[in-house]
Structure 1
Amino acid sequence: MNELKNILEQNLNDNFISAVLSNPRDEKLAAKVKVRPVLMKDIRVYQMETFRGNQAFHENLSADEACEKMLEAMENMKQMQLVTADAEFSVLISKKGKVTIKKKQKKAKMRPLDLNHNRKKQYILQEGVPVPFLQDLGVMTEEGKIVHARFDKFRQINRFLEFVEDILPQLDSGRELTILDFGCGKSYLTFAMYYYLHELKSYDIRIIGLDLKTDVIRKCNGLAKKYQYDKLTFLEGNIADYTGAEEVDMVVTLHACDTATDFALAKAIGWNAKVILSVPCCQHELNRQMKNDVLSPIMNYGLLKERMAALVTDGLRAEYLKREGYDVQVLEFIDMEHTPKNILLRAVKTGRRADNEESIRACESFLRVTPTLGRLLDEKGEL
């Protein structure tokens, strides 16, 4: 940790922009930690925001205190993204405690933060900075102001990009990366990913969006051409039948309905994708299957059974991903449609397969369910 300590001591100054500590070993201690500079009575301090469950806890610290607290927090975290005015640092800590630090020098130095206004929420895509795709999608005006009625979409896009930001250390920035977005729809988040990764972070990426709606695909391809996003392509097709790629680095599936999510996850696992981001939707399959005499007093109520089926579906999906060698987090996601369907599964390939086959089968037997993802993976294993 000495190298990390030196970096923190050298950068907790006027050049410091932000730091995000993530991928916890124990979410009960903290799910994520964010650090940013603020002014308190004209004195620069470092605000440390620690997320536990649905709560956020704040501390205002001196540079020395922030350094000490961040090093302490990293004992529970596997990665850190630290941004200064002239560089970005990616920190990875292995299970055995090995620290790997990569530094990326910025082509142009950022302006120092205006701390007098820094109490306002700092979004990755900032209000006041015109972004063409947000303008065409009706989220932003030509001057860069957010359309009031679309602020929830703006907030959701930024929340999604925070999830993407967290997994950047897992992606190889030295080669072209392939990202597949299944069920991309109007593609707010697809365009946001391309803009963020290619335009802001300078990653060499190729993104393919897939959806069943012909008119939506035509419009999205038109916008990609307009913005000269040469490596952003949209195709019409079904998730289950897609065979257009042999190797994929990251798979995104947002609100793919019912078992379409399972087909997307199975495809991602088959491609050995390094990262999977999935926001499931409409988990009807297990709702139709679930039967249990012990739980019948609860499952006699349709609404309760529906919600329970959704949780069981996503819980089993997470367990299957762990069985296949992924580190999985079940996170809260801000949903554009204001529904309870706001769970995001974030899976990072580690190769360490969980020994959870027995517990998966016991749960399925108890509820008398056979999830599509399990069937697809079992069929794949028999080939």
Structure 2
Amino acid sequence: MTNQFIEKIEKSLEKNTFIKITLSNFISSQEKSTLKKVLIRKTIIKREEKLTFVYRHKTNDITKNYSIKEGVNKVITLLTKESNNQNHEGFFNQAILFTTAFDLHLKNISKNPAIHSQKPTQKQTLSTSHDKQKKRAIQTKDQKGNSKNYLQALKITDNTGRVYANAQDKYKQINQYIEILSVLLKQLPTEKELQIIDMGAGKGYLTFALYDYLKNILKLKVSAVGVEFRKDLVELCTTIAEKSDFGSLSFVEGTIENYKIKEEDIEQKTQILIALHACDTATDDAIFKGIEADAELIVVAPCCHKQIRREIENAFKSDKKTENELSPLTNYGIFLERQAEMLTDTMRCLLLNYCGYQTKAVEFISDAHTPKNVLLIATKKESFLEENRKTEKLKEFEALKSFFGIKTHFLESLLLK
């Protein structure tokens, strides 16, 4: 029976109908053996066909690659009850060969071997690529197979759509942003046009990618504005948008603090506000603009956190009344900095709760320019506007202020003035 099974494996490899092999029901003479299964597929490594074996143990997987001949011999060994090989720990009592023509089952090798064939469960061979490419939300080529203009212009890809080696992290980061936002965006009402405001857009990496995703992949009605105070970047992004035929994407020169969202846009469009790595209180300005515009979604990646750090330093070093169990933290600059980051963003979340937003904090891939990798996500929820809930969140906010001796949080000064 085993010989017949091996013959079918060899023929399927010759005819290129081979899909995979699963070996299961491992019987071992060693009590401590943890091997459960072996999964086998064909791969191409350095232009040579190999059989890749994934040894699935109780707590980990071990992968090994063999030539076709070595791999077939390895299958024979793993299906053999007895072996002269001193390292032979046991054998598999069951095996399934999957091909595009049939599935072949081999059972009960130890006692009453049986083999039978049935219709194929799969009709396509698996990819033989050794490195499986993850399906990214933002592909490097358009539907016609051409490299996307904006990715080329931003030095993410070359003219064939290949991602440059030094841009791999940025490409992954863009896609992670889109993956995080896509779940949230799909929950928003789509009766009205979506308007994305990207505060502090910089070179517009996310602005372009998000517009592309919403407009060309999700096929939604969307307009987007990137706000940036550096004139050269505004001009660069405007040119890229025009060459990419992104008609409803624009960039304007200005600061987050002074930017005004048009009243008619607030009425007619669903507002989504984004601010990535806006320095210190500029993040608070962006959050305030989102709340003012009654945005359905506010997403910020805070940076710097200087304002609250200064407040903590002043309180603990000059006012003995605010000394408490956390006072020793102020003796170590790096711990004080991290505490200021957590405190600043926690207080931001509480103020967003007070204003009717459900909040959460997630990690993402940081870029080369800043190690900051926390994303604050605020989604508008009517239930959060209940007076009891608002009162509770404000109490929690005031308690943190008191404990750390903070006189005021910048966002508080904007919201509660």
Common fold by TM > 0.5: yes
SS for the counterpart of 1:241 is: coil
Question: What is the identity percentage for the equivalent residue pairs of Structure 1 and Structure 2?
Answer: 34
Letter matched to residue 359 of structure 1 = E
User: What's the offset of the Cα at 1:116?
Assistant: 5.7
Q: Deviations over 1:127-180 (max 9, x none)?
A: 566221111110111111110011000000000000121112332333321110
1:377 aligns with 415
SS for the counterpart of 2:358 is: strand
1:349 aligns with 380
Q: Please, which of 173, 187, 190 is the counterpart of residue 190 of structure 2?
A: 173
2:295 aligns with 273
1:334 aligns with 365
Task: Indicate the RMSD between aligned Cα atoms, in angstroms.
Answer: 2.4
- 1:210/1:237 contact within 8 Å kept: yes
Cα distance in 1, alignment partners of residues 294 and 416 from structure 2: 16
Q: Please, which of 277, 293, 311 is the counterpart of residue 289 of structure 1?
A: 311
SS for the counterpart of 1:171 is: coil
Cα distance in 1, alignment partners of residues 128 and 282 from structure 2: 47
1:253 aligns with 275
1:121 aligns with 134
Which blocks of at least 5 consecutive residues in structure 2 are unaligned? Answer: 1-38, 42-59, 62-123, 317-322
- 1:183/1:256 contact within 8 Å kept: yes
Q: Which runs of 4+ in 1 moved over 3 A?
A: 112-120, 126-129
1:363 aligns with 400
2:88 aligns with none
1:214 partnered with 2:227: no
Q: Deviations over 1:292-346 (max 9, x none)?
A: 4222211122221111101110111111111211111100011112643100011
- 2:261/2:293 contact within 8 Å kept: no
Cα distance in 2, alignment partners of residues 115 and 257 from structure 1: 45
Which blocks of at least 5 consecutive residues in structure 1 are unaligned? Answer: 1-39, 43-56, 59-111
Q: Deviations over 1:178-212 (max 9, x none)?
A: 11000001111100011111111111111011011
Cα distance in 2, alignment partners of residues 366 and 115 from structure 1: 58
Cα distance in 2, alignment partners of residues 351 and 148 from structure 1: 46
**Bigger Cα Rg:** 2
- 2:140/2:151 contact within 8 Å kept: no
Matches within 5 A, 1:175-324: 175-246=192-263, 247=266, 249-290=271-312, 291-292=315-316, 293-294=323-324, 295-324=326-355
Describe the shift of the 1:159–1:368 C-alpha distance in structure 2 as closer, same or farther (beyond 3 A). same
Matches within 5 A, 1:12-51: none
Cα distance in 1, alignment partners of residues 380 and 261 from structure 2: 22
SS for the counterpart of 2:135 is: coil
**TM-score, with structure 2 as normaliser:** 0.62
Cα distance in 1, alignment partners of residues 369 and 153 from structure 2: 23
Q: Higher mean Cα deviation, 251-260 or 160-169?
A: 160-169
SS for the counterpart of 1:374 is: helix
- 1:170/1:274 contact within 8 Å kept: no
